[in-house]
Structure 1
């Protein structure tokens, strides 16, 4: 993707990001992210984050299942189902690879108590989908799927040759890799397609723009809170 404009710099997502740029930068350039990039993040912080993120992905998989239900077309149903499959059968494997090193089983991870930051974020997204339509749900989901793609590519490019010695290399390479990047591209293309079908024309001038931007901004701030949670491994919140 080095010779192409990244999907998060195009279309509806780019407009939402520009409208919430301060929150977006706080999310994608968080201290937790910088610690991943240079390998200085304490292992206890990463371990706490990763177990919580495993639980997070379970709920996000449910959100994409809801997106299947909310879809008006087979194309959107298939896209939402494909993203759910990537979460359940690919992304969660990254978490399991790390946790095996720490002697944690999948069953033990699934029984871990959810931190308050995790509860707040996942229930916000599910509520956006249950109370709104597919566009509301995809807007709430977008900061997660696109943000990790953007972060992964940036950290991979910044790490250069030094990434070989980074304890978080597997995490970085997963989100910078072609497999995950294709998930981002497809998910944001779906956001564009659904916005066009439901709103048409210039989304920024539509009556729904303020509400969609508010949802996107809230989800982005909840991502910041998730990183904050990761930096506090001994605090339930």
Structure 2
């Protein structure tokens, strides 16, 4: 190999996670500036908007757990299978525990949340998510579930630097800014790097499209809660 050849870095040397995050950085910036998120920090978020979020998140997490379980079934190593299985259990636990606590504080119950209608954005997001993990490759599914991990971790980390005057909102912020959750996300991001390194450019590009799509759904999910979205007909 000549000096000129060795001096040219391979495009594959760049971690896949950097390529993924660069593609959604404007979406993440829009999320941080959304009135739902800023309202969590300054305490101005209407409780009805937060209740809508909690109810829809309860619906979302049940399907997200299914998506994680299927990612585990397609995962490349035994450790990855076990990790996704644990994350699926964790998603259900979050729905049962944290959301029950929130609903109680909001004057409702987990049973009421379960009976509430699934809103349009929630239905669209979970339908896309499940279709991708069922019908696509492991990398496709991983890319589709990753924004929920990664964006929540980044949002939690950013908001934890401030303190909400509302104890309920501070509880939500602390859950996602917590170091144990950050460690889980680092593990999944590292798996995306490993899986992306082994993929072809076409496979990487297709997975990136899924990643960007579900990142957009993350913004839409908070926006739907802010507007307390219902079916128009």
Q: TM range, normalised to the smaller chain?
A: 0.7 to 0.9
Question: RCO (CA 8 Å, sep 6+): is it higher in 1 or 2?
Answer: 1
Q: CA deviation at 1:13?
A: 2.5
How far the C-alpha of 1:190 sits from its partner, in A, is: 2.0
TM-score between both structures, scaled by the size of structure 1: 0.85
Equivalent position to 1:29, from 9, 33, 36? 33
CA offset digits 1:110-144 (Å, max 9, x no partner): 12110000011111111111111111011011111
Q: Please tell me whether Structure 1 or Structure 2 has the larger radius of gyration of its CA atoms.
A: 2
Q: 1:156–1:176: 8 Å Cα contact kept in structure 2? A: yes
1:144 counterpart residue number: 148
Cα shift at 1:29: 3.0
- Following superposition of structure 1 onto structure 2, how do residues 147-226 of structure 1 map, counting pairs within 5 Å? 147-159=151-163, 163=164, 165-199=166-200, 206-226=201-221
* 1:48 corresponds to: 52
The Cα RMSD (Å) is: 2.0
Deviation above 6 Å: which 4+ runs of structure 1? none
Q: 1:60 aligns with which of 45, 61, 64?
A: 64
- How many residue pairs align between the two structures? 219
Alignment of 1:53-132 (within 5 A): 53-90=57-94, 92-132=96-136
Kept in 1: contact 2:41–2:165 (CA 8 A): no
CA distance in 2 between counterparts of 1:197 and 1:99 reads 44
Unaligned residue ranges in structure 2 (runs of 5+): 1-13
Bigger mean CA offset, 135-144 vs 95-104: 95-104
